[in-house]
Structure 1
Amino acid sequence: MRIVLFTHPPFMASQSMPRFARMLQLAYQERGHEVHLWAPRPLVHRCVPAGRLSKWAGYIDQYLLFPLWVRRAMARQPADTLFVMADQALGPWVPLVKHRPHVVHVHDLLALRSALGEVPQNPTGFTGRVYQRYIRWGFAQARHFICISQRTRSDLERVGGVAPDSAEVVYNGLNQRFAPTPPARARSLLRAAGMPVPDDGLLLHVSGNQWYKNVTGILRIYARYAAGQAYPLPLWLVGVPQTEAVRAALASVPPQGKVHFLYGIDHALLQAAYSLARAFLFPSLAEGFGWPIVEAQACGCPVITTDDSPMNEIGGPHTVYLPLLGPDDDRKAWAAQGADALNTLLNESAQAASERAAACVAWSRRFDADHAIEQYLQVYQRVLASHHPSTERALARSPS
């Protein structure tokens, strides 16, 4: 196949989507496909790289100058070229390719839902609401989508307002290998890095404290749990900044409770922490996918998360679920329920805990990067065949 992959420009603050696009590019090229990466160049942005006008300079590059370049470049592309948007946030470019074979990868619609007032915990300003509607106007013109979860597909149709010809669900695959680290090895690694590893384990959370990660809720659960223990397990918060809200929630933790904030942990250390954790606390208010759930499970760590999609899609049958914490819910009652669930999990028999860990590892294997890539390519081939039926037989023989 000949694939043109659209991605975010390098001057954007977030680089997760460009990394995703580069991962796709390399994976497709390894399988023998011809892949071209298209992204706006910083023609105006390089003149205003910082300050209040920097964002608007970037918008000129993305939405005024880049479309002019794309129209010229598309005229030179063969008819059987497939145009792929690596993210639905690139929606304003969809009208450029809507009459050619195309696929849009949809990661999550949290920003759009916030802009529409569905997420009171994350209010959106006027310009943000306008921008999200502009993005929706664009991607709603696409005909073929790949969604990372059933929740994302549902949101695509419900708040995205699309009636696609196809919207396939392909779960993300882990981009790095996660597997259980033997306990002695895990303790050695962490202690060598100066981390206080107790012999009886720890509780773990990993995030950047985005609004939907519910770190204050985790601290309330931990405070309630620690209050009922003479020697509670410590809580490790990896990557969580100590904001004012986090410090306020820390005040509820009793003296016997221990909360450690850890930063700059490399992959081996994170894998060791997952492997030693007795429970991974992840009761998010929302998620796009929920990578840490799979990472923890791949290391044999049981997860406590929210009984809402996509978390309950990703967590599977061996995860402990808490109700979604709504903005008007009783936080104390919710925290007490979470502490009870945590105590029940920690008090499992050794055999039950071992069986749950093995089941978590087995479940995590379905989130395989190579499997996801193969599914993406199968969708691409079906889209190309639907536009060019005469090429269907050739595509069936092409590398995948």
Structure 2
Amino acid sequence: MKIAVDIRSASGEKAGKGWFTFYIIQNLLEQDQKNHYLLYAQNKTPGFDKYKNAQIKVINSKGILWHYKVVKDIQKEAPDIFIAPTSYIIPVLLPKSIKTILVVHDLVSFFYPHMHNKKAAFIERFLLRTALKKAKKVIAVSKNTKNDIIQKFNYEKNKINIVNCSASDDFKPVEAGSLSSFIKKTNLPANFFLAVGTLEPRKNYINLIKAFGRVNKRYPNYHLIIVGNNGWNYEQIYEEIKINYLQKKVHILGYLSGKSLNNLYNLAKGFVFPSLYEGFGIPPLEAMKCGCPVIASNTSSLPEVVGESAILISPHSVSEMENAMLSLVKDKNLCDNLRQKGLKQAKKFSWKNSAAKLLKMIKKL
């Protein structure tokens, strides 16, 4: 079979959807040498060149024009299957003769449109219903997302397969000697909480900063490190830091990946993920793979991701967030317990297994 895939989000600095595309397609290509793959990208995308049965097709355009050019090329190539890991535009434009596997990460545009980029929210709300109708099969990245699709669109549950995200195997515990060297190079504070994710309203950083401010009053030697690019409507987050006079205690580092992020997970007193809504939530898994105690929201997909291996809090309660952080500061046994449970929980997810589920779907189409 000939299979076309949109890998546009797998290049450059990646967030959740980009990492899903990058790892699920890499692992799919590792497991499937029989089918031929056409990988559509906007830029040169490292990580796929070594696969002999994959052809990378770079389409040099932007925005909607890129999608139209890809559709035109797909029609010329006439693949049997098209996999859409992130965007709904191409699935809507393609003829039904090309079987589409549509990936739905979340329904944030429907449930929290006021907390999402307005343009992106409009496009998703306008296209998703049609994309779902045309799709041969749908992938949901969590049980929660599957349930959201069924409830919102009265969708046939048998057409939806759950294919979870995971965390890279690059995230793992690091020896003390290597961490000491990293601390000296970076001048990190001795005690800090860590948060990872794009700076945008849905990630709920404002409540986190409020909660941390309370913790810092009792434990002035603690800091908060936030890793993530500025996203939509990020300015309020910086304003909240100023309002609480935390400019010297809250450190926003921008985008990080690889060894630097792995080291931060290993060194943090705890990882805090107070998001209001997630389709999956990869960062808590990354933290658990490193042995970092996790505090996470009790909403959407997060309880199924972290299981009983994290402290679950209401993202709307600053007091719950504060108390959870204080418990990690005070209780070493709790930290050790969460660390061991987290390492075990993280093993339940793997990109290899998720890619195997995708390949099974492909074979059945």
Q: Distance in 2 between matches of 1:41 and 1:234?
A: 39
2:77 corresponds to 1:73: yes
CA RMSD of aligned residues (A): 3.4
Contact 2:298–2:312, Cα closer than 8 Å, also in 1:
yes
Unaligned ranges ≥5, structure 1? 50-54, 326-333, 385-400
Contact 1:146–1:169, Cα closer than 8 Å, also in 2:
yes
Rg larger in structure:
1
Residue 37 of structure 2 corresponds to 36
Contact 1:25–1:35, Cα closer than 8 Å, also in 2:
no
2:205 corresponds to 1:215: yes
What secondary structure, in the 3-state scheme, does the structure 2 residue paired with 1:220 have? helix
Shift of 1:347: 1.8
Residue 331 of structure 1 corresponds to none
Shift of 1:72: 3.7
Give me the TM-score of the superposition, normalised by structure 1.
Answer: 0.75
The aligned runs of 1:1-400 (5 Å cut-off) are 2-7=1-6, 20-21=20-21, 23-31=23-31, 32-39=33-40, 58-63=63-68, 65-74=69-78, 81=80, 83-87=81-85, 89-93=87-91, 96=94, 98-99=96-97, 101-111=99-109, 113=110, 118-122=112-116, 124=118, 129=122, 132-163=125-156, 165-192=158-185, 194-198=186-190, 201-229=191-219, 231-239=220-228, 241=230, 243-253=234-244, 258-263=249-254, 265-325=256-316, 334-348=317-331, 350-381=332-363, 383-384=364-365
Shift in CA distance, 66/277, structure 1 to aligned 2, threshold 3 Å: closer
Shift of 1:266: 4.7
Shift of 1:306: 0.8
Q: C-alpha deviations, 1:10-40, integer Å up to 9, x for none?
A: 8999866676545444433332232322538
Shift in CA distance, 267/92, structure 1 to aligned 2, threshold 3 Å: closer
* Identical residues among aligned pairs (%): 20
Q: Distance in 1 between matches of 2:327 and 2:172?
A: 25
Q: Distance in 2 between matches of 1:207 and 1:86?
A: 23
Shift in CA distance, 109/364, structure 1 to aligned 2, threshold 3 Å: same
Shift of 1:182: 2.7
Q: Distance in 2 between matches of 1:11 and 1:107?
A: 15
What secondary structure, in the 3-state scheme, does the structure 2 residue paired with 1:248 have? helix
Shift of 1:277: 1.0
Q: Distance in 1 between matches of 2:76 and 2:247?
A: 66
Count of paired positions? 347
AA aligned to 2:4 is L
Give me the TM-score of the superposition, normalised by structure 2.
Answer: 0.81
What secondary structure, in the 3-state scheme, does the structure 2 residue paired with 1:33 have? coil
Contact 1:95–1:141, Cα closer than 8 Å, also in 2:
no
